Structure 1
Amino acid sequence: MVHLYTLHELDQTEGTVQLQQTSTVGKETELVLFPRPSKTDPNDPLRWSRVQKHVCFFAVCSFTFFTNYAIGGLAPAFALLSKEFGKSMNETSDLLKWPVLVLGLFNFFWVPLANYFGKRPVFVFASLLLCVCYIWGAFAQSFKSLLWSNIVAAFAGSTTEALGAAMVNDLYFLHERSSKMAIYMAAISGGNTIGPLICGFIAETIGWRWHKGIAAIAVGINFLLVVFFVPETSYDRDSPGTLSPSSSTEKEIAKEDVLTATVSRKTAIRASQPPMVLHDQMPRKTYSQSLKLFAAPRPQESLLYLFARPFPLCAYPAVIYAFLAYAVSLALTVAINILSSYVLSAEPYTFSPALIGLVNIPGLLGNLVGAFVGGWCVDRYSAWRSKRAAGVFRPETRLPLLVVPAVLVPVGCLLWGYGVQRAWHWVALFWGYGLISVGLTAATAPTMVYVSECYFPVQMDALLLVNGLKNIVAFGFLYGVVPWVDGMGYIDCFGTQAGIYVAILLLGVPLYFYGERIRHATAKWRIIL
């Protein structure tokens, strides 16, 4: 008989942790590290050097960047590909639509494998497969062959859709996560903006095949980086709680000035002075030992069990909110990638492929602005709120800055819709895309971190659901966007999308005000396998 657990049984903090505390010397506050690094094991990824952490993180970001660079980057060449292979606009857009679906669906394949065998073997295999697929795409002689090279590349690239976010949590502490997650999201979105920007010039000068070829070379170099410099990051960590189980963790803490939660002195770690006396009882792995292909702690559960484990987590409100916010942000961005090649190559713009690629400059700038807002600004805001709350951190402090994409993205939708249908100057379209692109990082980074912090013991499975489901929803939207604009026009289409976007982000309002009460209530649901 399958035994079901509650989240409270796995983590009594239920997402509320002590992030700052008053120094024993003076009245200054000190940062508390969460999760707690191992005192006895120097191989704990949280105890790795900053350089080693950053190299692993760079390899993950590079992999996910080039996944999107080579697949989504073909968009400016869609008009050329349509003529070369004799396909309609809707048929050519399959080069992007089906990979979007595969990028989401196969999260449900790779993540259980990574939980069972480890992240390193999955990452090594996927990196090699991605390189092979780009070589295949560069030499494809038919539309069907090119399409399947993109689909299989998306199968390989889907490994980092959830694993990359999980590796951020393996390597970095809570107070660093939003910034690192924003960088990771910027790598995903940057592939979708820098790729088309470069592809337009490549397609016009030396041919679209070299776009794939350059990606194959880059991924090949990154494969070597993964093989020789990215050890296993999975680690069997003790219970992550840092708050002592007490009556205050069982009740709603309604006001910050009456907070009664206390810190367990045995588990709190200060960052401003030597955090603890380390008694290493395990030897540090040698370089060759750290690069073993199968070095992750093997779970006791069966592989079939690991495949089934994530799905009950769909019941958690934060998971639903994060995947919807991510889905609409992604769908809007990819829709413009699909449509811009046809809009800007036709009258009155008649842009060449190189000039069509330039639409991604404002897209890239929007991604960077969104990464700054959703990353650095969210981390600073959360730290400030924690300091005001006697050092206690609540995941809901990640949500208020979602007001930025909630305002900017709908404005961008309306600019793009009116601009295309009424043939406004191309500057209006560029501004519209730039504002829409803010949402792909400003809305997704904080909501994914929010999910991780609400459901820390099962965060990898929760992120799997967010990444898998958002691509399925985005695919459904993209599959119908060309007939939608043909039937209703750009104004009605993008105006409706603006309304949907605002409605979804507004779901975060009750989570912000009642999130702690909701977390404490849902933590008692016996749904975790």
Structure 2
Amino acid sequence: MQLHSLRELDQTEGTVQLRKVSSESGGTDSSLVLYPHPSENDPNDPLRWPIWKKHVTFGSVCAFTFLTNYAIGGLAPAFYILSLEFEKTMSETSHLLLWPILVLGIFNFFWVPIANYFGKRPVFVFASLLLCVCYIWGATAQSFESLLWSNIVAAAAGSSTEALGSAIVNDLYFVHERGSKMGVYMNSISGGNTIGPLICGFVVQSLGWRWHKWMAVIFTGINFLFVLFFVPETRYNRISQPNLSANSSSQAISSDSEEAIDVEKAAESRTKEYPGSPPSGLSPVPKKTFTQELSLWSGVPSDTNILKMFLRPFPMIAYPAVIFAFLGYAVSLAWVVSVNILNPFVLEAPPYNWQPQINGLINIPGLIGNIIGAYAGGWLVDVFCDWRTKRNHGVFEPESRLYLLIIPFLITPAGCLLFGYGVQRTMHWTTLFFGYGMISVGLTAVPTITMAYVSDCLLPVNMDALLLVNGFKNIVAFGFLYGVVPWVDDVGYIDCFGTQAGLYVAIIGIFGGLLTVFGGKLRHMSSQWHIIL
């Protein structure tokens, strides 16, 4: 069995020319370089799709991942009522969220190899339909076990959007767009866990928890139709081309025309530089019709088999970027979900005695924190990276993304301490709200930054790498969350959330700081490891 190195697949190793700095302007003016390079003669290349088509495809997948978390995580405000209805303890009721979190991670290891082999479209179509069926099951469940299993199977269906959703960002958008688009995607994931409980609180109080599920059925049914008709196959066999060279300026195109990219013009300039690239005189590939794009079959790779697809991702856990990304994502997710699990038993019990719809309002600061985190980790990081790229003679280094981890590094641990002290000392509810909002910043900021970083470093195998990030972070988060209720009962909220703050500082601060400083050397060294099947 022959093993390959990342350098064999991508000679750039993540360091690419994104800006052409004009010598005539004294280095103050620059124009954008598209990377990856769009196909020169194939209109079916997702990078060449019209911008509206990209956004509709991406939006449908984001809606899919939003609805997965909306109906499962959104049930949290009903936990206290469900524990009374089904005569379950606080720990047992929390399983409605804990086991789906584990399944959301584990089933990444199933869906990604299937998508690598058969394509993303058939996976999304089948999984979105299965999600809708599971919510019908949950809405009609007559026992706690039936409701639990409906959530578990729904999580298995929804897990298809975890790694594949973030991989679609790389299929549809260029490097300079990834941060902001990854921020939108992360807001879709986290938004389900904040908007869902916010709505569910009012629905549970006025109509009952089953109507929360029925609303999810309606939304997922509509989303299934969008996925069926407006999400074509985005898998594309892209030939890697060199990017950095003495004549790389010939690839540049004006950033002023970014919204309407003239791919053919850019392609003509690239063929002058790369003798190995297809000549511009090649006959254009016929554009697929709408009916052809609806097909669920796009062929299978001829140079591999499905067993290799299942085995290929695991050695990539050796890459430092992957280790950091899944650990950072795991603690960011675990700390937020721990608040979701615990807050109904805090705010709906004495001395607060809140009603479920009022308890759901705690998700307003959570939503604000998610939006701030996604903005800081997405759009702001893209702006910062562009600024550093210009200062670096137009050359982009993936480690530029990591500098802004300072934002969640400072805010999230402080939120953990604020929430822990607030609950144990029975402080005013605003203390809990501010603490939860600060914790929520990390849930979107950290994975938005780190998953874009992983994609930059490991672009040819990004889907397998993101599989490990999304799979292992849920498994690690499940380990923490499975014991969070007995942990709080044993040591109290201050010690529990104080320890969480310390772990967060250690992972984001120490590990993130080392990669910021030494990540370039580690990236170039690890690119020579022969660990890719």
- Please tell me the TM-score bracket, short chain as reference: over 0.9
Partner of 2:513: 509
Identity %: 64
Q: Tell me the amino acid that sits aligned with residue 364 of structure 2.
A: I
Alignment of 1:25-424 (within 5 A): 28-244=29-245, 262-264=246-248, 271-272=255-256, 274=262, 275-277=266-268, 281-295=284-298, 298-424=301-427
> Any idea what SS the aligned residue of 1:358 has?
helix
How many angstroms apart in 2 are the aligned matches of 1:25 and 1:288? 50
> Any idea what SS the aligned residue of 1:359 has?
helix
How many angstroms apart in 2 are the aligned matches of 1:438 and 1:490? 20
Q: Within the alignment, does 1:426 sit opposite 2:429 as a pair?
A: yes
Instruction: Give the TM-score of the pair, scaled to structure 2.
Output: 0.94
Q: Tell me the amino acid that sits aligned with residue 510 of structure 1.
A: L
Alignment of 1:403-482 (within 5 A): 403-482=406-485
> Any idea what SS the aligned residue of 1:527 has?
strand
How many angstroms apart in 1 are the aligned matches of 2:159 and 2:124? 10
> Any idea what SS the aligned residue of 2:487 has?
helix
Partner of 2:20: 21
> Any idea what SS the aligned residue of 2:440 has?
helix
Contact residue 124 and residue 227 of structure 2 kept, 8 A = yes
Instruction: Give the TM-score of the pair, scaled to structure 1.
Output: 0.95
Q: Within the alignment, does 1:495 sit opposite 2:498 as a pair?
A: yes
Q: Tell me the amino acid that sits aligned with residue 205 of structure 2.
A: E
Q: Tell me the amino acid that sits aligned with residue 334 of structure 2.
A: A
How many angstroms apart in 2 are the aligned matches of 1:328 and 1:202? 30
How many angstroms apart in 2 are the aligned matches of 1:194 and 1:296? 39
How many angstroms apart in 2 are the aligned matches of 1:300 and 1:41? 22
Structure 1: tracts of 5 or more residues without a match? 245-261
Contact residue 242 and residue 263 of structure 1 kept, 8 A = no
CA RMSD, 1 decimal: 1.4
- Give the C-alpha shift of residue 297 in structure 1: 5.5
Contact residue 4 and residue 531 of structure 2 kept, 8 A = yes
Partner of 1:255: none
- Give the C-alpha shift of residue 341 in structure 1: 0.5
Contact residue 33 and residue 270 of structure 1 kept, 8 A = no
- Give the C-alpha shift of residue 203 in structure 1: 0.5
Count, aligned residues: 511
Partner of 2:272: none
Q: Deviations over 1:67-108 (max 9, x none)?
A: 000000000000000011010000000000000000000000
Q: Deviations over 1:500-520 (max 9, x none)?
A: 001000211111111111111
How many angstroms apart in 2 are the aligned matches of 1:216 and 1:29? 49
- Give the C-alpha shift of residue 272 in structure 1: 4.9
The 1:73–1:168 alpha-carbon spacing in structure 2 relative to 1, beyond 3 Å, is same
- Give the C-alpha shift of residue 281 in structure 1: 1.7
Partner of 1:7: 6
Q: Tell me the amino acid that sits aligned with residue 527 of structure 2.
A: A
Structure 2: tracts of 5 or more residues without a match? 269-279
- Give the C-alpha shift of residue 241 in structure 1: 3.7
Q: Deviations over 1:483-527 (max 9, x none)?
A: 000000000000000000010002111111111111111111111
Contact residue 418 and residue 435 of structure 2 kept, 8 A = yes
The 1:204–1:299 alpha-carbon spacing in structure 2 relative to 1, beyond 3 Å, is farther
> Any idea what SS the aligned residue of 1:276 has?
helix
Partner of 1:251: none
How many angstroms apart in 2 are the aligned matches of 1:509 and 1:410? 16
Contact residue 4 and residue 526 of structure 1 kept, 8 A = yes
Contact residue 232 and residue 296 of structure 1 kept, 8 A = no
> Any idea what SS the aligned residue of 1:444 has?
helix
How many angstroms apart in 2 are the aligned matches of 1:240 and 1:213? 49
> Any idea what SS the aligned residue of 2:483 has?
helix
- Give the C-alpha shift of residue 317 in structure 1: 0.4
- Give the C-alpha shift of residue 266 in structure 1: 6.8
- Give the C-alpha shift of residue 295 in structure 1: 1.9
How many angstroms apart in 2 are the aligned matches of 1:430 and 1:526? 48
Q: Deviations over 1:144-196 (max 9, x none)?
A: 00000000000000000000000000000000000000110000000000000
Q: Tell me the amino acid that sits aligned with residue 237 of structure 1.
A: R
> Any idea what SS the aligned residue of 1:235 has?
coil
